[in-house]
Amino acid sequence: MENFIVSARKYRPATFDTVVGQKNITATLKNAIKNQQLAQAFLFTGPRGVGKTTCARILAKTINCMNLTGDIEPCNDCESCVSFNRSASFNIHELDAASNNSVEDIRSLVDQVRIPPQIGRYKVYIIDEVHMLSQSAFNAFLKTLEEPPEYAKFILATTEKHKIIPTILSRCQIYDFKRIGVPDIINQLNFVSSQENVTADPMALNVIAQKADGAMRDALSIFDQLVSFTGNELSYERVRENLNVLDFEYYFKITEYLMEGNIPQILLTLNEILEAGFDGQHFLVGLGSHLRDVLVSQNKNTVQLLEVGDAITDQYLQQAEKCPSDFLLKALDILHKTDFTYKSSNNKRLHLEVALMQMGSITALHLQSLKSAPTSEPKKKTEVVTRYEEAKPENPEPEIREPVIQKPVEVRVSKPVEISVEKQTVKKPAAFSTKHIPGTISIREELSEQIEVNDEAEEYFDTGSSEYLNAKPIDFGELSDAWKEFADDLADKHPSLYSTMTSIKPEVGDDFEVLFEVKNIVQEKELENVKNDLIGALREKLGNRFMRLKININPLIEEMKPYSPEEIFRHMAGKNPAIIELKEKFDLEPE
């Protein structure tokens, strides 16, 4: 019976050009050999099965070849290449650091380094899984690694670079190997299939490449397993059945049902998947990956991030045209939260069904919001208008000339109203002073039936009245005293609000306006709850009924630090009200 050689060994690359998916690294190594700029130590790091040890062997073979080809590849004919191909080269030594990780093993290696090569130019030491060396072994290796003989080269390989001490890293040229892309794995599997006379469905090879997760060795191992199971016919159905992979068509159907809001069909499809023996979280992760692929397919610049075969790319592009981006983003957010809490859920199936129903309701809620959206223009905020176009009366007297306004009239607007006067459309304020321009009609009387009162508008003051003009100015000292007095009344009932009001001082603005800044929306809401009472108290203390309060959010403001024991206690109570209960329980006093 002939010995079977697994595909991962049988089709292991023997030259730089046959290495799969690491073109940037192989090109750099070939240039270093060509320009005779070889470092004394290399560190190859990256995921499993991506070609680290393979590239190390090819590099060792190439630098010892006596007759390099024009494209910097070994000739396979010289004595060094022949001995390497027979695994009988005395110039290349491989050490498994997982089982040889002690100081004695490194000392033995150092002793071997002293002996020059008998054939070839270099002695190459390949140390695999170098992160398994002990701390003492690393330290014993430092000096030799930094200043080896001219003929000694070290190639270290690891999957966990972060476990290697910095002093070792600083003495090596580091090459980061990347995960092999799905298209590259499929191309290599096609090549192996043709060499092994295996008929493979492109969809089946795509499933194998996805299952390998960027590792060429894993892909070839799965390929050998499936060939043993199915013979020389690799069909999509047989591969999916053997690998227990959920058919991607389920994801396309589920996505269609989610966009349609077809919740009954969503639940039936989920039940079919679970009855087939698939884990709920496996489906959850797969659906998230599918929606991510649909999202990246919506832009021609991000389609390259789609790691699927050419046979499925067209289906993703077609579904991407139908899916709105906001739907995909909201669905991905729901999936992310569900995946995070799935393991801690007691009823995992219900947890998954609720998440799918929430995603199925996204489109329906969006359409409902569009139907219920008001068709009229949104209400405009109240603002002060200091100039507007002059309106002419409908039937002016011949002898009355158009009046000339010497100074702007200050008017408060809550909602613009269009008035047609002599075929001219002029915007007039709906709420304004009782004074109107001489020689014109009273707009308030004419529009009393047309203007809708805005209950949400700010409090209106006649800024042209003599009472407003002669009102008492706001004094900062009086304002601070009145503000502190109101805050003190809240100290016991609302310590957090007391802390907010006393940590920042109010400021006096224009037109009897008091400005107060808070750090976040929580403080703003707390202050809004007592805003009316606060305004009433301030007006009474300041003797100005036109006083207004404006609250702004400014996360960059600096709060005043409490100094006295009582201020420190109240400041702490504002952050943690439980301190008040502690004080009352043990009858404590701040000191």
- The whole-angstrom separation of Cα 357 and Cα 349 is 12
Identify the CATH number of the domain defined by range 7-176.
3.40.50.300
Among candidates 163, 208, 160, 162, which has minimal Cα distance to 184? Answer: 208
CB 334 within 8 A of CB 358: yes
200 three-state secondary structure:
strand
Q: Which residue has the higher pLDDT, 568 or 242?
A: 242
CATH class for the region spanning 182-243: mainly alpha
Contacts of 135 (CB under 8 A, 6+ apart): 165
- The whole-angstrom separation of Cα 68 and Cα 74 is 5
Condensed to tens digits (0 to 9), the pLDDT of residues 82-95 reads: 888 888 888 889 98
Sign of CA dihedral 491, 492, 493, 494: positive
CB 547 within 8 A of CB 471: no
Output the CA–CA distances (angstroms, integers) from residue 261 to 288, 331, 366, in the order listed: 18, 12, 11
pTM value is: 0.57
pLDDT reading at 233 higher than 70:
yes
DSSP conformational letter for 549: E
What pLDDT score does 236 carry?
86
296 three-state secondary structure:
helix
Residue 27's pLDDT band, with cuts at 50, 70 and 90, is very high
Based on its alpha-carbon atoms, the radius of gyration of the chain, rounded to whole angstroms, reads: 40
What pLDDT score does 461 carry?
67
What pLDDT score does 329 carry?
92
- The whole-angstrom separation of Cα 473 and Cα 508 is 10
SS3 sequence, 249-266? HHHHHHHHHHHHCCHHHH
Q: Would you kindly state where each structural domain of the chain is located, as residue ranges? A: 7-176, 182-243, 248-372, 383-389+407-470, 476-586
DSSP conformational letter for 232: T
Output the CA–CA distances (angstroms, integers) from residue 434 to 380, 418, 438, 461, 544, in the order listed: 22, 19, 12, 11, 21
Contacts of 312 (CB under 8 A, 6+ apart): 203, 206, 248
What pLDDT score does 575 carry?
66
Among candidates 61, 25, 58, which has minimal Cα distance to 44? Answer: 25
Phi, psi of 41 (to 5 degrees): -145, 140
Strand 513-518 relative to strand 548-553: parallel, antiparallel, unpaired? parallel
- The whole-angstrom separation of Cα 145 and Cα 156 is 11
Condensed to tens digits (0 to 9), the pLDDT of residues 269-290 reads: 999 999 888 888 889 999 999 9
Tokens of 580: 């008040």
Distance, CA of 329 to chain centre: 11
Place of tokens 């067209």: 314
pLDDT reading at 256 higher than 60:
yes
What pLDDT score does 419 carry?
43
Q: What is the dihedral of CA 299, 305, 311, 313, to 10 degrees?
A: -20
What pLDDT score does 445 carry?
42
Measured in Å, how far apart are the chain's first and last C-alpha atoms?
Answer: 92
Q: Which residue has the higher pLDDT, 226 or 499?
A: 226
- The whole-angstrom separation of Cα 478 and Cα 358 is 55
pLDDT (mean) for 158-180: 92
Residue 443's pLDDT band, with cuts at 50, 70 and 90, is very low
Q: What is the mean pLDDT of the chain?
A: 80
Output the CA–CA distances (angstroms, integers) from residue 28 to 16, 169, 581, in the order listed: 11, 19, 69
552 three-state secondary structure:
strand
pLDDT reading at 565 higher than 60:
yes
pLDDT reading at 545 higher than 70:
yes
What pLDDT score does 248 carry?
83
pLDDT (mean) for 92-104: 89
pLDDT reading at 130 higher than 50:
yes
pLDDT (mean) for 410-420: 45
What pLDDT score does 381 carry?
44
23 three-state secondary structure:
helix
Beta-ladder partners of 45: 158, 176
pLDDT reading at 253 higher than 50:
yes
Report whether CATH 2.170.190.11 matches the domain 248-372: no
Alpha helices, H only, 310-396: 310-322, 325-341, 348-360, 362-372
Beta-ladder partners of 384: 412
